Amino acid sequence: MKSDRSVHSEAGALAGVVPSVNLAAEPGRMDFYERARSCNLAPLWRVLHGLVTDQPAPRCVPALWRYAETRPYLMEACKLISAEEAERRVMVLENPGLPGESRITQSLFAGLQIILPGEVAPAHKHTASALRFIIEGHGAYTAVAGERTMMEPGDFVITPSMSWHDHGNEGDAPMIWLDGLDMHIVNLLCASFREGYPGRVHPLQRPEGSAAAEAGHNLLPVDTEYASQTSPIFNYPYRRTREALDQLARIRAADAWHAYKMKYINPVTGGWAMPTMSTWMQFIPAGFTTASYRSTDSAVFTVVEGSGSSRIGGEAFDWGPHDIFVAPSWVPHQHTASSDAVIFIYSDRVVQEKLDFWREHKAQP
Ligand code: 1HN
């Protein structure tokens, strides 16, 4: 027979139980539950409403990483370990609601990578796709599937699933970027593979600029077949993104919820640039406050230019250039720009759309 205390703690663990379950009758069912457990059986009625929640119940919480606070840790890491020894010298942005899980949201990874002049991050490939959003520095390249691209602040660079990639810094200052990866989605589905390249770097197979020449001008070579679901453009340069937002802001009024927000697209399909992570760049003019918005995709925001503040749920976060913050699934958020602000955003929206899950709600301004 169970002690009173264990019966009480059992009842306490029943948060999420079906409301019609008579808790007073539960002690009389314990023997059945225990025998069932020995046969790897469990009663659904004790867990049902925790499994199927009325609305999103993210463990991920609103959070902000100030660049002034994170950058010194990146510099210190450089004194402790080389890019080569680390394979990738990355400090993981861990959501405070998900400590030790290498998650910035429940589905997404974020980290800040630093590479010093002369260093190489050796070639490897994996099932997970990666995006790089360049924060600081000049003169570093990434090579993807045999083609190099030089990275500049504000550039959005893609490493598709299972493509060889290495990075190198040929400049004279540290280079820092944000890495966004989908490995938690890959791992949920138990589909992860990884391989290291036998050499330090993968051989170059195409001249720099090939991808941009083929796919970067709203034109595609007539007979090329594109089998991948990832955009053939693997560097979306900031200069052109910024110009696009500038032009949009000249010809139309700001949207109440998004101000000016443009999505990065795959020119082959017109859809999102990556199959597992949606990406956008947003421009919020000085003095503008966006109306409260929520959607089922948790999103990661990286400030490129300007400063302002965001309300995310009940919390307020002030931000400036290179700060990174998170709005969890279904938590209402709104932004106020105190100077012209440009923000890079990524989320798992594209996955949710493909699975018919995605929802949004726009509060009336
Ligand atoms: C990775 O391969 C890179 O290639 C960066 O630069 C960050 C985080 C987790 C797993 C693999 C890169 C990563 C990563």
Percent of the chain surpassing pLDDT 70: 96
For atom 9 of ligand 1, the residue with the nearest CA is 181
Locate tokens 């409403």: which residue? 49
Phi/psi of residue 185, nearest 5 degrees: -75, -45
Query: 88, 108, 142: which to mutate for ligand 1, most atoms within 8 A of CB?
Result: 88
Q: How many Å lie between the centroid of ligand 1 and the Cα of residue 108?
A: 13
For the CA of 159, the closest atom of ligand 1 is 4
For the CA of 90, the closest atom of ligand 1 is 7
Question: Over 90: is that where the pLDDT of 18 sits?
Answer: no
Of the pLDDT bands very low, low, confident and very high (cuts 50, 70, 90), residue 20 is: confident
Model confidence pLDDT, tens digit, residues 44-54:
999 999 899 99
Question: Over 60: is that where the pLDDT of 253 sits?
Answer: yes
Question: Over 50: is that where the pLDDT of 2 sits?
Answer: no
Average the pLDDT over 221-240 and give the result.
97
Q: How many Å lie between the centroid of ligand 1 and the Cα of residue 309?
A: 30
Question: Over 70: is that where the pLDDT of 316 sits?
Answer: yes
Q: 287 in the Ramachandran plot: left (φ > 0), alpha (ψ -120 to 50) or beta?
A: left
Question: Over 80: is that where the pLDDT of 210 sits?
Answer: yes
CA 282 – CA 261 distance, rounded (Å): 4
Structure confidence at residue 12 (pLDDT)? 52
For atom 1 of ligand 1, the residue with the nearest CA is 88
Please tell me whether residue 284 adopts helix, strand or coil conformation.
strand
Q: How many Å lie between the centroid of ligand 1 and the Cα of residue 335?
A: 30
Question: Over 70: is that where the pLDDT of 275 sits?
Answer: yes
Structure confidence at residue 37 (pLDDT)? 98
Of the pLDDT bands very low, low, confident and very high (cuts 50, 70, 90), residue 293 is: very high
Query: 179, 185, 234: which to mutate for ligand 1, most atoms within 8 A of CB?
Result: 179
Structure confidence at residue 14 (pLDDT)? 67
Model confidence pLDDT, tens digit, residues 110-159:
999 999 999 999 999 999 999 999 999 999 999 999 999 999 999 999 99
Question: Over 70: is that where the pLDDT of 291 sits?
Answer: yes
Question: Over 70: is that where the pLDDT of 9 sits?
Answer: no
The CATH homologous superfamily for domain 235-362 is Jelly Rolls (2.60.120.10)
Pocket of ligand 1 (CB under 6 A): 88, 90, 109, 111, 113, 121, 130, 165, 167, 179, 181, 183
Model confidence pLDDT, tens digit, residues 157-171:
999 999 999 999 999
Question: Over 60: is that where the pLDDT of 247 sits?
Answer: yes
Domains 68-215 and 235-362 share a fold: yes
Q: How many Å lie between the centroid of ligand 1 and the Cα of residue 199?
A: 18
For atom 7 of ligand 1, the residue with the nearest CA is 179
Locate tokens 């200052």: which residue? 173
Query: 74, 181, 346: which to mutate for ligand 1, most atoms within 8 A of CB?
Result: 181
List, in sequence order, the alpha helices (H) in the chain.
4-12, 30-38, 48-51, 67-80, 83-86, 183-188, 210-215, 238-251, 349-354
Q: How many Å lie between the centroid of ligand 1 and the Cα of residue 217?
A: 29
Structure confidence at residue 107 (pLDDT)? 98
CA 181 – CA 40 distance, rounded (Å): 35
Question: Over 90: is that where the pLDDT of 312 sits?
Answer: yes
For residues 321 and 135, is the Cβ–Cβ distance under 8 A?
no
Average the pLDDT over 205-211 and give the result.
98
Domain limits, the chain:
4-51, 68-215, 235-362
Of the pLDDT bands very low, low, confident and very high (cuts 50, 70, 90), residue 177 is: very high
**CATH T-level fold of 68-215:** Jelly Rolls (2.60.120)
Question: Over 90: is that where the pLDDT of 10 sits?
Answer: no
Question: Over 80: is that where the pLDDT of 76 sits?
Answer: yes
- pLDDT mean across residues, the chain: 95
For the CA of 111, the closest atom of ligand 1 is 7
For the CA of 102, the closest atom of ligand 1 is 9
